[in-house]
Structure 1
Amino acid sequence: MTATATAPHTEAAETPPAEKAMRRKRRGITMTIVTTLGALLLAVVFLMPLGYGAATALKDKDGVSDPNAAVLPVSALTFEYEGEVHDVYAVPMPDGTTRDLALIEPGRESSTFVDPEDPGAGPIEWDGRWRTLEPVTGLNPQWGNFEEAWNTISFLRLTGWTLMYALVSMALTVVSSAVVAYGFARFRFPGRGLLFGLLMATILLPPAVTLVPKYAVFLQMGWVGTYLPLIVPQLFANAFNVFLLRQYFLTIPRELEEAARIDGAGPIRTFLRVIIPQSVPALTAVSLFHFFYAWNDFFEPLLYLAGNREIVPIGVGLSYFSGVYNSEPHLILAASLLALALPVAIFLAAQRVFVQGIVVTGVDK
């Protein structure tokens, strides 16, 4: 009889499930913090030029021309006393303190000041040379820059023409693109793939190639100097908009159209009553894309409206304004911020629908 020796079995200590869950939770929290900080850093870097432009728009002319000036709109403080504006200085007092006082009567060896916080206390006599005092500086945003830019640039007139151009061309391109996209998405006809490929190929065509022929045609038609060369071409759809809407239309279940067909609806009624209501996010995205494009459009309005400055959109108007006030960048930036206000407000108001409209993949039918 032989005895069999068995080696002692040692099992590796396993990590308890609670500790594993805790580790996963910590990793998730760490990734969330890192992702959030990275996104905030990118947002700060992206918005830095806009912040610098806003700060410059609030400076006065001296603050803009001074290379050593602070980034923020900091300038010497002033105080209005008895109808006159006086500079404020840091004045050392006999008791060893320093007070911010407005100089109302400068003198050689003694001067008269007044306390901006308590002007009713009356004048304060100070012995000393006021030229040795340091002026008091602080945040002093020049909100009047926006008013001056508004009045100088004829902002309401420019905004009116820009809104007309953007809204009319937006409506035309959305309608025409939606009709073409519906045809490519739902109808089968010979050569559909070839036609769609040719349409997409137009995206690769540089605008400079067709610029001269288009201008020659519109010049012969007598349209130069009007908005017709900018608006009428929008009746013939846009390849990018057609592609975006077609991809969204393909995500709409066909069962909805079949149900409408059983109820007696034709293709046009189905398009208006079924497809359009289901495609509001995509239509909103396309509308905003074109609205922002038209609002910022510069070259074509400059080309076709060069002979009629009274009807130019705001992009061209800003270029004229910049040419006249090139020595006052604070006014140029103030006018630019005014032109930027409406598109930003529209984007923020429609942000959720806009983002939903451009996400056209991964939708269950």
Structure 2
Amino acid sequence: MTTTQPTENALRRRRRGTLLTLCTTLGALLLAAVFLMPLGYGIATSLKDKDGVSDPDTGVLPVSALTFDYEGETHDVYAVPMPDGSTRDLALIEPGRESSVFIDPDDPEAGPIEWDGRWRTLDRVTGLDPQWGNFTEAWNTISFLRLTGWTLMYALVTMAFTVASSAWVAYGFARFRFPGRGLLFGLLMATILLPPAVTLVPKYAVFLQMGWVGTYLPLIVPQLFANAFNVFLLRQYFLTIPRELEEAARIDGAGPIRTFLRVIVPQSIPALTAVSLFHFFYAWNDFFEPLLYLAGNRDIVPIGVGLSYFSGVYNSEPHLILAASLLALALPVAIFLAAQRVFVQGIVVTGVDK
């Protein structure tokens, strides 16, 4: 049995394909690096101390001047030029005008080292010194557990309401025929174009008259009446589900509600997961409406509003503000990474080629 060697043209095409793949990968990595630069800068700044943030010479990384404890006292470390032309990192223990005494932090047993020269002309030695205590201080100052609890309540409750109501409405538009269905669906989609500022004052006036201002009711109850964007996404997905599955369920004696719960919902896990994620992240980051409706009750505000209060008090300490922001970001990122697996599994277990 003979094997044929690849032709020159095939080798060239393979090289071009490999080069194109490498260039595409490199471009994607560069784009991701540019996109993540602000996040990296925020993480680095959150690990600095107050002096490091205000000093432009410290650079991006969290560095600070090194010190050395000797005989119960803390001494600064300097880069000291030696007679042989080398430079050593030594701790200043006895400063003088024309000569000073240093100690080697790496070998303090060697004893003091006398150096002739003006120590004020020497450069301080710096090194990486992340201030992990910034996160502890921000956690305790911002009452993070309380804010997270209220935010989770708001996000999860409204997510459940909006997904359930939107799925019911989307199922009706996708599977049932009734007079004016197209007109009603068009009117529902038209509400997406309505700016929120138009309905802001009337909504606030109504909720104020009902005595709901200062509670979560103005934020939760409207989610019981579906959302046009979610309805559109779910309806489009429901239309891809074969009708044969519903017909089989109907033959088995299932009504519309049971068919929806036993057939449509299991087949729609990817779409329902996507809609749930969209709303959860929206509610987690929601700022204006909680600020408006909960202004009189700061004890129950979500984390977005709590961070704004924290920023107002600690506006001169950006490292603490960024530390608190990263703490608020951790949970949504973890939920997103966990939900990715659910999303992929939902596509696999549907069992239907769409």
Normalising by the residue count of structure 2, what TM-score does the alignment of the two structures yield? 0.91
Per-residue CA deviation, residues 5-36 of structure 1 (Å, 9 max, x unaligned), is xxxxxxxxxx9983332233223222212211
Asked if 1:173 is matched to 2:172, the reply is no
SS at match of 2:257: helix
Shift of 1:123: 4.7
Q: Provide the residue aligned with 2:274 in structure 1.
A: 285
Determine the C-alpha separation between the residues in 1 that align with 2:5 and 2:102.
Answer: 77
Larger Rg computed on CA atoms:
1
Equivalent of residue 164 in structure 1, options 153, 156, 163: 153
Distance 1:342 1:122, change over 3 A: farther
Asked if 1:31 corresponds to 2:20, the answer is yes
Please identify, of 220-229 and 72-81, the stretch whose mean Cα deviation from structure 2 is larger.
72-81
Change (3 A) 1:359 1:277: closer
Name the stretch that deviates more: 227-236 or 85-94.
85-94
Structure 1: tracts of 5 or more residues without a match: 1-14
* Cα distance between partner residues in 1 of 2:220 and 2:14: 56
Q: Alignment RMSD, CA only? A: 2.8
- Do the aligned partners of 1:282 and 1:356 also contact (CA within 8 Å) in 2? no
- The 2-side partners of 1:219 and 1:265 are apart by 44
- Could you tell me whether the CA contact under 8 Å between 1:110 and 1:125 is conserved in 2? yes
Asked if the contact 1:285–1:358 (Cα under 8 Å) also holds between the matched residues in 2, the reply is: no
1:3 paired residue number? none
Q: Which moved more, 1:260-269 or 1:343-352?
A: 343-352
CA contact (8 A) 1:283 1:357 kept: no
Q: Is the 8 A contact 1:285 1:353 kept in 2?
A: no
Number of equivalent positions: 351
Deviates more, 1:220-229 or 1:263-272: 263-272
Mean CA deviation greater in 42-51 or 289-298: 42-51
Contact kept in structure 1, 2:269 and 2:347, CA below 8 Å: no
For 1:330 and 1:100, locate their aligned partners in 2 and report how far apart those are by CA, in whole Å: 29
Please give the alpha-carbon distance, in whole angstroms, between the structure 2 residues aligned to 1:240 and 1:137: 53
**Alignment CA distance shift 1:268-1:326 (3 Å):** same
The separation in 2 between residues aligned to 1:17 and 1:97, in whole angstroms, is: 60
- Residue 124 of structure 1 and its aligned partner are, at CA, apart by 4.4
Larger deviation, residues 34-43 vs 21-30: 21-30
1:280-330 deviation line (CA, Å, top 9, x unaligned): 111111111011001100000000011111111111111111111111111
| Identity within the alignment, % | 90
User: Which segment drifts farther, 95-104 or 207-216?
Assistant: 95-104
Please identify, of 95-104 and 118-127, the stretch whose mean Cα deviation from structure 2 is larger: 118-127
- Map 1:197-208 to 2 at 5 A: 197-208=186-197
Cα distance in 1, alignment partners of residues 351 and 265 from structure 2: 20
Q: Deviations over 1:154-204 (max 9, x none)?
A: 111111111111111111111111111111111111111111111111100
Using the TM superposition, name which of 66-75 and 76-85 deviates more: 76-85
Aligned equivalents of 2:349, 2:192: Cα separation in 1: 20
Using the alignment, how far apart are the partners of 1:234 and 1:141 within structure 2? 43
Deviation readout 1:215-260 (Å, 9 max, x if unpaired): 0000011110011101111101111111111111111111111111
- The SS at the match of 2:57 is coil
Displacement, 1:46? 0.9
Larger CA deviation: 101-110 vs 21-30: 101-110
Contact 2:266 2:350 (8 Å CA) reproduced: no
**CA 1:255–1:363 in 2, change beyond 3 Å: closer, same or farther?**
closer
Relative to structure 1, the CA distance from residue 133 to residue 173 in structure 2 (aligned partners, 3 Å threshold; closer, same or farther) is same
Cα distance between partner residues in 1 of 2:287 and 2:56: 31
Measured in 2, the distance between the counterparts of 1:257 and 1:123 equals 88
**Cα pair 2:166 2:227 within 8 Å, conserved:** yes
| 346-355 or 121-130, which deviates more | 121-130
User: What's the offset of the Cα at 1:137?
Assistant: 1.3
Maintained 8 Å contact 1:251/1:364: no
For 2:344 and 2:227, how far apart are their aligned partners in 1? 20
Kindly indicate whether the alpha-carbon contact (under 8 Å) linking 2:267 and 2:350 is maintained by their aligned counterparts in 1.
Answer: no
The more displaced of 75-84 and 138-147 is: 75-84
Which sits farther off after the overlay, 294-303 or 33-42? 33-42
1:121 to 110, 117, 122: 110
Preserved contact between residue 46 and residue 320 of structure 2 (Cα < 8 Å): yes
The alpha-carbon deviation at position 56 of structure 1 amounts to: 1.4
Higher alpha-carbon deviation: 331-340 or 117-126: 117-126
CA distance in 2 between partners of 1:201 and 1:106 (Å): 77
Whether the 8 Å CA contact 2:79–2:123 is kept in 1: the answer is yes
State whether structure 2 residue 216 is matched by structure 1 residue 227.
yes
Q: What are the Cα deviations for residues 320-355 of structure 1, in whole angstroms up to 9, with x where unaligned?
A: 111111111111111111111111111122235457
Change (3 A) 1:261 1:341: same
Q: Gapped runs of 5+ residues in structure 2?
A: none
Residues 235 and 122 of structure 1: CA distance in aligned 2, closer, same or farther (over 3 Å): farther
Aligned-partner Cα distance in 2 for 1:49–1:356:
32
- Name the CA distance, whole Å, in 2 between partners of 1:99 and 1:142: 26
